[in-house]
Amino acid sequence: MSLLASLQAVAFKEMEITMGLMIESNARFVGREEIAQVPTPIGTASWKPVPHMEVIDAVGDVVNSRGWQILDEQYGLARDGQKLFGVMRINRSSSPEWSRCIGIRNSHDRSLSVGLTAGITVLVCSNNAFGGSMVIKRRHTRQIRVRDLVIDAVDSLEEEFLTLETVAEGLKIDEVGDDEVRASIVKAAEIQAIPSCDILNVWKEFKEPRHEEFAEPTRWSLLNAFTETAKKYSPARADLCYRGLTRLFGLDGKPSFLWKQ
């Protein structure tokens, strides 16, 4: 995930956030037409960069072949077009509270492998949560066949979606006390899911949420206090945050780091 059409765009001094996609000020939001103009560098004997549009088109084709609809999409380029970040929102969900989204990444500078990941976007606030690790995550070799990888990845995404949504439903009914919240926020800072300077910001967001839907003191509200705070992060910092939250809250279906099962 305009992506997530019911959600607001928020501007920050050093970055922009539009419909769930966070882009640094030295990066920019782009459409498919501009992405198509990004040149793909010449590869080597062992490394073949994948054109950004080839990844996007492959995901779109496979999603459509499943009978799903892409409701919205948003893309951003960084490092003069060397890095691509994207989010697609699709018309499948187990709850009216969120929609499923697919995170996309690619690079032409060997810094990122081609990757997809399953996520959900909370409709009231545009907060994103992602499940397990990127399900393609293949390095750019000459043997890479993007469409074949995407077909396998989308099949894997279905299981990731179900796991993530099941965990989210559980978080919504699990109440949490202030002491546990404080300990959880500090733990998040310890593993660098958030910078230590945001400990108080997450606490304030939990105690006085800007969205009334998170007024109840539940683990779901705590997760959204983190993701609301994460909206100001750069793409790289946000990626680190989301990966940390995935493990802390057990969004990948594995035991949570924050509380006993």
pLDDT in tens, 86-100: 889 898 777 888 888
Q: What is the mean pLDDT of the chain?
A: 82
C-alpha span between 232 and 26 (Å, rounded): 14
Confidence (pLDDT) at 78 = 82
Among the listed residues 227, 208, 251, 213, the one whose alpha carbon sits nearest the alpha carbon of residue 96:
213
Sites in the chain below the pLDDT cut of 70: 1-28, 132-144, 235-236, 260-261
R_g over Cα of the chain: 18
Task: State both tokens at 109.
Answer: 């500078």
Half-sphere exposure in the Cβ direction for 79 (13 Å, CA): 14
Confidence (pLDDT) at 8 = 26
19: left (phi over 0), alpha (psi -120 to 50) or beta: left
CB 85 within 8 A of CB 76: yes
Beta-strand ranges (E) seen in the chain are: 10-11, 15-18, 21-24, 28-30, 70-78, 83-90, 98-107, 115-122, 128-130
Residue 114 backbone phi and psi in degrees, to 5: -60, 135
Contacts of 259 (CB under 8 A, 6+ apart): 180, 219
Confidence (pLDDT) at 114 = 83
Confidence (pLDDT) at 136 = 65
Strand partners, 77: 28, 84
Residue 97 DSSP one-character state: T
**End-to-end Cα separation, the chain, in angstroms:** 32
Confidence (pLDDT) at 16 = 44
pLDDT tens per residue across span 152-193:
888 888 888 889 999 999 999 999 999 999 999 999 999 999
Task: State both tokens at 200.
Answer: 């108080």
Task: State both tokens at 215.
Answer: 């007024």
Confidence (pLDDT) at 79 = 85
Task: State both tokens at 27.
Answer: 């990066």
Domain ranges of the chain: 10-168, 172-249
Q: In what order do the strands lie in the sheet with 70-78?
A: 28-30, 70-78, 83-90, 98-107, 115-122, 128-130
